[in-house]
């Protein structure tokens, strides 16, 4: 096969690739200079839709509706956009070998691609129970959700198993969002996870108590403190039940597994410096190899706000790190500089009529404020994380856009918090914020916390 050469290559076709492509276009990339090589069959899309509206029985999301960059309120980049910009979108092509020293990539079909500058945007893959030898884990109707093909298969199963039973293995993002989506589709759903409460990497016990109670009120059964150790199957190889470590057996027509992911860095092992499970980069996402950048899930980068190296798996970081890398590439060419990447960690989720946002770092002491009763009609509440006398993280359920901006500001500026009891009891959300100027003044003054939300 003929060798193809490009000035720039993005390895991977997920969210980061799409946002990088848009930034390349803004920076004036010339036709035929840039290629995106993706093993998926479709142009980059906003992956969070797969665990949300893609599974809804009504108001369903489908492509081309959620191609990047609609997730951040930008223009939707349809496949034609790449053609118009002279960007080669090379789909259904899996790279199986990357030789960074010779700047050569090889596909599963034997194609070779040469490049001058590469951006590694391979993202993460799901952790599968079959990796641990769990009996029956390869049965039909056991699903993982990472790509649009996975979502399509799950949609077909929901239709085929109408009013059936589902078991969701895992209590994190995927577990919470997919159990809600299954319940909305009238599937009898049970969540199973080993931790003492759901979403333990972020939620405190108090926050988790609200969501667990809310989900149970919606008819979702929750089993904590145990794991799936096996699956029963019928003569067609379809899953029929889930065997738990505590001896219980749960009937299941559908099983969805969400037990975490791992960064896809295998192609680059031994060629780039790694740290904390990812590819080590600087603040411009340059790796230890000249002309190679890494963004999104695979990058371990300097988190300036906390003075440490960190790897962040989230769509917000995937978007912003991709844009930062491309800006740095063009600035370097022009002998200019760009600002260091100064990222504020941000996570969010939506399920049922709930919507939470979190900014900052979830370390230190915590205080809960607002109405966190699962039976509340407003269910507006939040939490602060306090370390070394300063607020370093802020969480808010059912906040207005203005209130969400306010907690982001709080997490960024890290105001003093000397009286935790007062923080917990003040009616923080009594009134909406007036103007951004007011927020700036209040946060800078580091006094009268209750007024931040007035």
> Which pLDDT score is estimated for 288?
98
User: What burial class does residue 444 get, using C-beta atoms within 10 Å of its C-beta: 0-12 exposed, 13-18 middle, 19+ buried?
Assistant: exposed
> Which pLDDT score is estimated for 421?
59
C-alpha angle with apex 400: 395 to 402, nearest 5 degrees? 90
Question: Are 415 and 439 spatial neighbours (Cβ–Cβ below 8 Å)?
Answer: no
Q: Which helix (H) or strand (E) holds 178?
A: helix 173-184
For 445, residues 6+ apart whose C-beta sits below 8 A from its C-beta are none
Closest CA to 297 of 257, 340, 329, 260: 260
CA atoms within 13 A on the CB side of 451: 12
424 vs 186: CA distance, rounded Å:
38
CA distances from 201 to 197, 217, 413 (A): 10, 24, 23
For 364, residues 6+ apart whose C-beta sits below 8 A from its C-beta are 385, 386, 387, 388, 392, 393
C-alpha angle with apex 319: 317 to 323, nearest 5 degrees? 110
Residue 54, helix vs strand vs coil? helix
- What are the two backbone dihedrals, phi and then psi, of residue 380, each rounded to the nearest 5 degrees? -110, 120
> Which pLDDT score is estimated for 153?
97
Question: Are 172 and 191 spatial neighbours (Cβ–Cβ below 8 Å)?
Answer: no
> Which pLDDT score is estimated for 451?
40
Do domains 4-125+262-333 and 353-453 share one topology? The answer is no
Closest CA to 11 of 144, 126, 109, 104: 104
229 vs 224: CA distance, rounded Å:
14
- What are the two backbone dihedrals, phi and then psi, of residue 242, each rounded to the nearest 5 degrees? -120, 125
pLDDT in tens, 196-249: 999 999 999 999 999 999 999 999 999 999 999 999 999 999 999 999 999 999
Cis peptide leading into 103, omega within 30 of 0? Answer: no
C-alpha angle with apex 210: 204 to 211, nearest 5 degrees? 90
Query: Looking at residue 197, what DSSP letter applies?
Result: S
pTM score: 0.92
> Which pLDDT score is estimated for 430?
38
For 88, residues 6+ apart whose C-beta sits below 8 A from its C-beta are 4, 6, 32, 34, 35, 36, 82
SS3 of 368-432:
EEECCCCCCCCCCEEEEEEECCEEEEEEEECCCHHHHHHHHHHHHHCCECCCHHHHHHCCCCCCC
pLDDT in tens, 313-334: 999 999 999 999 999 999 999 9
Burial code (b: 16+ CB inside 10 Å, e: under 16) for 140-153 equals ebbbbbbbbeebee
How is the chain split into domains, by residue range? Answer: 4-125+262-333, 129-259, 353-453
CATH 3.40.718.10 holds for 353-453: no
Strand order in the sheet with 221-224: 142-143, 254-257, 165-169, 188-193, 221-224
With a cut of 50, list the residues of the chain below it in pLDDT: 426-454
407 vs 409: CA distance, rounded Å:
5
Q: Which fold has domain 4-125+262-333?
A: FAD/NAD(P)-binding domain (3.50.50)
- Partners of 11 in the beta sheet? 37, 120
Closest CA to 225 of 176, 174, 191: 191
129-259: CATH, from 3.50.50.60, 3.40.640.10, 3.40.50.150, 3.90.420.10: 3.50.50.60
CB atoms within 10 A of CB 128: 14
- Partners of 9 in the beta sheet? 35, 118
> Which pLDDT score is estimated for 379?
85
User: What burial class does residue 39 get, using C-beta atoms within 10 Å of its C-beta: 0-12 exposed, 13-18 middle, 19+ buried?
Assistant: middle
> Which pLDDT score is estimated for 417?
77
């Amino acid at each position: 096969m003929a060798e193809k050469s490009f000035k720039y290559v993005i390895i991977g076709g997920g969210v980061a690739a799409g946002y990088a492509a848009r930034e390349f276009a803004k920076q004036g990339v010339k036709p035929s200079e840039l290629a995106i090589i993706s093993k998926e069959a479709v142009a980059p899309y906003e992956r969070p839709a797969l665990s949300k509206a893609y599974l809804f029985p009504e108001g369903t999301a489908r492509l081309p509706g959620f191609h990047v960059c609609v997730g951040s309120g930008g223009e939707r980049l349809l496949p034609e956009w790449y053609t118009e910009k002279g960007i080669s979108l090379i789909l259904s092509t899996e790279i199986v070998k990357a030789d960074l020293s010779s700047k050569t990539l090889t596909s599963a079909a034997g194609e070779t691609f040469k490049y001058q500058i590469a951006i590694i945007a391979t993202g993460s893959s799901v952790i599968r129970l079959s990796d641990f030898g769990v009996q029956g884990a390869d049965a039909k109707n056991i699903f993982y959700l990472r790509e649009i093909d996975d979502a399509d298969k799950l949609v077909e199963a929901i239709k085929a198993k109408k009013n059936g039973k589902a078991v969701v293995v895992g209590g994190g993002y995927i577990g919470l969002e997919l159990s809600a989506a299954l319940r909305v589709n009238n599937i009898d759903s049970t969540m199973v996870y080993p931790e003492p409460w759901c979403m333990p990497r972020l939620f405190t016990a108090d926050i988790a108590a609200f969501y667990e109670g809310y989900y149970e009120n919606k008819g979702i059964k929750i089993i904590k403190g145990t794991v799936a150790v096996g699956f029963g199957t019928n003569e067609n190889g379809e899953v029929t039940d889930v065997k738990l470590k505590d001896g219980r057996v749960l009937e299941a027509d559908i099983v969805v597994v969400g037990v975490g992911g791992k960064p896809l860095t295998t192609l680059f092992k031994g060629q780039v410096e790694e740290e904390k499970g990812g590819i080590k980069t600087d603040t411009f996402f340059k790796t230890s190899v000249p002309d190679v950048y890494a963004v999104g899930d695979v990058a371990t980068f300097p988190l300036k706000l906390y003075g440490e190296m960190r790897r962040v798996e989230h769509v917000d970081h995937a978007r912003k790190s991709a844009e930062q890398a491309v800006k740095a590439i063009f600035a370097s060419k022009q002998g200019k500089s760009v600002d260091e990447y100064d990222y504020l960690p941000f996570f969010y989720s939506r399920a049922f009529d709930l919507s939470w946002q979190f900014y900052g770092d979830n370390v230190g002491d915590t205080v809960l404020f607002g109405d966190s009763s699962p039976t509340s009609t407003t269910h507006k509440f939040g939490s602060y994380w306090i370390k070394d006398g300063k607020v370093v993280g802020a969480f808010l359920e059912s906040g207005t856009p203005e209130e969400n901006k306010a907690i982001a500001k709080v997490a960024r500026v890290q105001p003093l918090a000397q009286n935790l009891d007062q923080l917990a009891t003040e009616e923080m959300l009594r009134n909406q914020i007036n103007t951004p100027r007011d927020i700036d003044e209040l946060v800078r003054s580091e006094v009268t916390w209750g007024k931040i939300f007035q």
